Amino acid sequence: MTLNRRAVLTATLVAGLFNPMWAGAAQPLVMGFSQVGAESEWRTANTASIKDAAKKDGITLKFADAQQKQENQVKALRSFIAQKVDVIAFSPVVESGWDTVLREARAAKIPVILTDRAVSVSDPSLYVTFIGSDFVEEGRKAGRWLLDFAKKAPNAELNIVELQGTVGSAPAIDRKKGFEEIIASNPKLKLSRSQSGDFTRAKGKEVMEAFLKAKDKKIDVLYAHNDDMAIGAIQAIEEAGLKPGKDIIIISIDGVKGAFEAMVAGKLNVTVECNPLLGPQLMQLARDVVAGKPVARRITTTEGVFPAEVAAKELPNRRY
C-alpha cells in the first residue's frame, strides 16, 4: 500500500468520515520499474509494451532507465523502496550482486518481480516470480539451425565467431551455453573467437571489424546474441567487401523488424525469436502478487525460429 493510500484511509477513519463508496475507488497500484536501458530495438519494444500496459491497466508506473549500469538500477530500486511503491519489477542488467538491495525490499515488505533477465541470488525467495524467455533454449535453437545448415556440406569445417551480449548478463551467459551445448555434437563446427558487443549495433560493428581485420582464418559463420549486434556486424562485413548472409552466414536472436528486413535483403540467415511484449502479463502478475494470490515461480514466453526463407511473408505480421 502506498503512503497516500495509507494516509487517506487513516485520516478518514480517525475523522469518522469513512464512506463505504470510497472503498471501491481504491488508489491506483504503484509499480516501480527499473529498465536495463535503450540498447536495442528489442529493449525499445519492451519499454513501450510495459508503459502501454501500465497505462491501459490503470497502474501508476515509476519508470527508471539504468543506461546499462547496475549501480543505476540499485539506486532506482532504493528510491522505489523509499517511495513505498506497491510492487517493484526490474530487468537486471547483470545476474549477480542483487542480494543486499533485494533484502532491503523484503524488509520494506515490497514484493519484487523479475522480468526478462534472471538474477543469481543466495536466497531465491528474495523475488516472487520471473517472467521472460528461456535464453538457454534460444541458444540451443540457434545451434540446431547451424547443425542443420552444416549438413549441406558435411565434410566442411566451419569457422564460427560469436558476438556476445553484455558481460555477466543472463542472456549472454545462457545463449552462449545453449549454442555451445548443441554445436559440440559436430566436431566440424569450431568457435574461434567470442567477444562482447554489449547488445548494441555500434559495438557489434566495432567488434566484427576487429574479427575481420585479424585475417588469421576465413570466417564462415557469425553467431550474434542479438539482432542489433548482427545488424552492426552486417555493416562491417559489407565495408570489408564481403556479402553478409552469403560469404558469412549470420545467425542472431530477437526477431525484431530490423532483422526481418535484413533477411528479406538476403543479409541475415536466421533469427531466433525473443518476445519483448511482456507488459500485459507483467501488469496482471503485479496485480495478483499485490493481492496475495498464488503465482507461478517462472513464466516462460513462447517463441519461434524464423529463417530467411519465411521473412518476406512474416515481416508484415511483426509487432516489434
The residues of the shown chain that bind ligand AHR, judged by CB under 6 A, are: 39-40, 42-43, 116-117, 171, 199, 226, 228, 253-254, 274
Residue 77 or 158 with smaller CB distance to ligand AHR:
77
Measured from the CB of residue 272, what is the shortest distance to ligand AHR in angstroms? 10
Measured from the CB of residue 117, what is the shortest distance to ligand AHR in angstroms? 5
Residue 95 or 254 with smaller CB distance to ligand AHR:
254
Measured from the CB of residue 116, what is the shortest distance to ligand AHR in angstroms? 5
Chain centroid to Cα 231, Å, comes to 17
Residue 164 or 226 with smaller CB distance to ligand AHR:
226
Residue 39 or 57 with smaller CB distance to ligand AHR:
39
**Contact present, 269 and 237 (Cβ < 8 Å):** no
Burial classification of residue 91, based on how many CB atoms lie within 10 Å of its CB (0-12 exposed, 13-18 middle, 19 or more buried): buried
**Helix residue spans in 83-169 (DSSP H):** 99-107, 135-150
| The three grid cell numbers given for residue 217, joined into one nine-digit string | 582464418
Residue 86 or 228 with smaller CB distance to ligand AHR:
228
Measured from the CB of residue 28, what is the shortest distance to ligand AHR in angstroms? 28
**Contact present, 129 and 295 (Cβ < 8 Å):** yes
Measured from the CB of residue 8, what is the shortest distance to ligand AHR in angstroms? 38
Residue 86 or 138 with smaller CB distance to ligand AHR:
138
Residue 171 is inside which H or E element, if any?
Answer: helix 170-183
Measured from the CB of residue 166, what is the shortest distance to ligand AHR in angstroms? 7
Give the chain's count of helices (H) and strands (E): 12, 12
For residues 162 and 279, give the distance between their C-alpha atoms in angstroms, rounded to a whole number: 30
First to last CA, the chain: 34
Measured from the CB of residue 42, what is the shortest distance to ligand AHR in angstroms? 3
DSSP 12: H
Residue 83 or 300 with smaller CB distance to ligand AHR:
300
Strands (E), the chain: 30-35, 60-65, 87-90, 112-115, 129-132, 158-164, 189-196, 221-224, 249-254, 270-273, 298-300, 305-307
**Contact present, 283 and 254 (Cβ < 8 Å):** no
